[in-house]
Amino acid sequence: MAKLTVNELDLQGKRVLTRVDYNVPMAESDGVMVINDDTRIRATLPTLRAMIEKGAKVVLCAHLGRPKGERVDSMSLRPVAQKLSELINQPVAFCDQCVGDKVTDAVSQLKDGNILLLENVRYHAEEEANDTAFSEKLAANADIYVNDAFGAAHRSHASTAGAARVVTERGGQCAAGLLMERELKFLGEELESPKSPFVVILGGAKVSDKIKVIDRLLEKADTIIIGGAMAYTFKLAKGLQVGKSLVEPDKVDVAQAALEKAKERNVQFLIPTDNVVAEPTQIDGKFAFGDYRINDNENIPDDMEGVDIGPKSAEAFGVVIKGAKTILWNGPMGIFEDSRFAEGTYNVAKAVCEATANGAISIIGGGDSVKALNNAGLGDQTTFMSTGGGASLEFLEGNELPGVTALTDK
């Protein structure tokens, strides 16, 4: 069911409680917390600008880190207020509480178009417990609720679901922000009936994390490409040797079932035919990779670990990707954090961008694939990059997201 969005709301003079994803990486420098990457703050600017233009009193709430219900100074959102103010070019008030009289006071001082950021909602254990009384306190000063935090929408917390329920029960509207709307459009509507050939590329560490996505997309995809450590469990299922590669032996039957389903449905299912392999060893008492080389064989030698797809596989995958009209990519092809094993992932990234330049729709399902594209300077050459990791996967599995369900239907 399509959800109401901020574009459809009359916000003039309304107090809008807005859940955003400001869980930004920070590090201490000379005794102050410094934001290392402001991507998530920037991602909310279109929604904030739209609400300001409509004359809303914007009250932002968010979480940062895992303070586990305690006030932890290093996890305060105060530096985010400062950063947001610079990015949006207007003052952003900050309240060191997220519920209670101090918040009521701060909200009452807002003029139309003003912004107030509340302190980390996770300073209260009631947030993650989706506590009813806490949800009521959070929503106490809200006429309208907006959720722009797709990355937190798979959690049923007070700020993602509880506060929306309170506002709804009061007869108020709950809407998706513009970032949330885009996430739902690309991960939802666009993949509902994708233009063929639809190529799905999945990588990363574990089959168990993504098997439900594979299963669901086997209903729609023309080709499924598997890379990363996941591929080795599929190799096991095909009776191949995997050496010391990261595998999930208890998921071999699941991998087998996916391979059979692909055959039944005539879905091309590609796993790497060559790999970069490295020797796991110890250096200074710590785990490390020693010698590494291309292994031009489907089987991986006993003493080696598969760490990336090989050049032949990258080329074969690239040909299929470049012929696609719709692409969904989630997960790296190898241990791309180590530059020696990043080439396979970067080659896939380049093929995805080339296909996009030729008119394909490319959707990047969050997490490490987004990181890899950004590292390669290719982030702006895809159609859409999701801001959600866990939320994207859950959505692609076909699960309802509590933070989305709680919004008002159109």
Give the footprint of ligand AMP on this chain (CB under 6 A). 204-206, 209, 228-229, 246, 306-307, 331-332, 334-335, 337, 367-368
Decide: 175 and 9 in contact? Cβ < 8 Å: yes
Determine whether 265 is an active site residue: no
User: Which entry of 182, 206, 216, 312 is annotated as an active-site residue?
Assistant: 206
Nearer to ligand AMP among residue 174 and residue 229 (C-beta): 229
How many CA within 13 A on the CB side of residue 145?
Answer: 32
Strands, E, within 66-181: which ranges? Answer: 92-95, 115-118, 144-147, 174-176
Name the strands in the sheet holding 305-309, side by side, starting at the edge strand that comes first in the sequence: 286-295, 275-283, 305-309
Closest CB 284 distance from ligand AMP, rounded Å:
21
User: Which entry of 40, 57, 83, 235 is annotated as an active-site residue?
Assistant: 40
User: Which entry of 204, 367, 388, 403 is annotated as an active-site residue?
Assistant: 367
Evaluate the omega torsion of the peptide bond into residue 79 and state whether it is cis, within 30 degrees of 0.
no
CA distance 65 to 55: 31
Nearer to ligand AMP among residue 233 and residue 326 (C-beta): 233
CA-to-CA dists, residue 175 to 123, 128, 150, 385, angstroms: 25, 21, 12, 22
Nearer to ligand AMP among residue 19 and residue 154 (C-beta): 154
Closest CB 245 distance from ligand AMP, rounded Å:
6
Nearer to ligand AMP among residue 94 and residue 336 (C-beta): 336
Tokens 């299929």 -> residue: 320
Closest CB 301 distance from ligand AMP, rounded Å:
15
Structural Rg of the chain based on CA atoms: 23
Closest CB 184 distance from ligand AMP, rounded Å:
22
CA distance 83 to 22: 11
Determine whether 54 is an active site residue: no
CA distance 252 to 256: 6
Q: What is the DSSP letter of 408?
A: P
Nearer to ligand AMP among residue 151 and residue 332 (C-beta): 332
Nearer to ligand AMP among residue 148 and residue 368 (C-beta): 368
Nearest to 231 by CA among 304, 311, 294, 308: 308
Closest CB 317 distance from ligand AMP, rounded Å:
14
CA distance 339 to 345: 10
Determine whether 390 is an active site residue: yes
Closest CB 228 distance from ligand AMP, rounded Å:
4
Nearer to ligand AMP among residue 135 and residue 330 (C-beta): 330
Closest CB 186 distance from ligand AMP, rounded Å:
18
Terminal C-alpha separation, the chain: 8
Question: Which residue's Cβ has the minimum distance to ligand AMP?
Answer: 204
Determine whether 40 is an active site residue: yes
CA-to-CA dists, residue 98 to 61, 62, 140, 236, 345, angstroms: 7, 9, 11, 51, 42
Closest CB 305 distance from ligand AMP, rounded Å:
7
Decide: 96 and 35 in contact? Cβ < 8 Å: no
CA distance 304 to 300: 7
CA distance 32 to 28: 5
The distance from CA 149 to its chain's CA centroid, rounded to whole angstroms, is 10
SS3 content of the chain, % helix, strand, coil (to 5): 40, 20, 35
Nearer to ligand AMP among residue 204 and residue 403 (C-beta): 204
Q: Which residues are catalytic?
A: 40, 206, 367, 390
